[in-house]
Amino acid sequence: MKAEIAMENWEGGPGGALINASNIETIELEYRDAVKLVVESLRLYPKLRLLDLYFGKNPLLPFFFKASPLSYFGFETANKLVEKSKADYQYYIRQRKAVFDDFDGLHIPYVMNFFHRVISISPRIDPYLIEAYLQEAYRVMAPGGVMVFTFKIKNYEQALQLIQRARLSPFRIDDLKILNMNLEDPLLVNHKSVFFVLTKAVVKKIPDEGSQQ
| Mean pLDDT of the region 137-163 | 93
100-128 pLDDT, tens digit per residue, is: 999 999 999 999 999 999 999 999 999 99
The whole-angstrom separation of Cα 100 and Cα 86 is 6
pLDDT at 52 over 80: yes
pLDDT at residue 16, as a whole number: 52
Identify the weakest region by mean pLDDT among 8-17, 21-30, 101-110, 173-182. Answer: 8-17
Identify the weakest region by mean pLDDT among 44-48, 145-149, 202-206. Answer: 202-206
Strand partners, 177: 25, 195
The whole-angstrom separation of Cα 49 and Cα 145 is 10
Left, alpha or beta for 59 (phi > 0: left; psi -120 to 50: alpha)? beta
Arithmetic mean of pLDDT over the chain: 85
pLDDT at residue 136, as a whole number: 97
Q: Decide which of 3.40.30.10, 3.40.50.2300, 1.10.3720.10, 3.40.50.150 is the CATH code for 4-212.
A: 3.40.50.150
Residue with the bigger pLDDT between 127 and 191: it is: 127
Q: What is the pTM of this model?
A: 0.85
26-38 pLDDT, tens digit per residue, is: 888 888 888 999 9
The whole-angstrom separation of Cα 195 and Cα 34 is 10
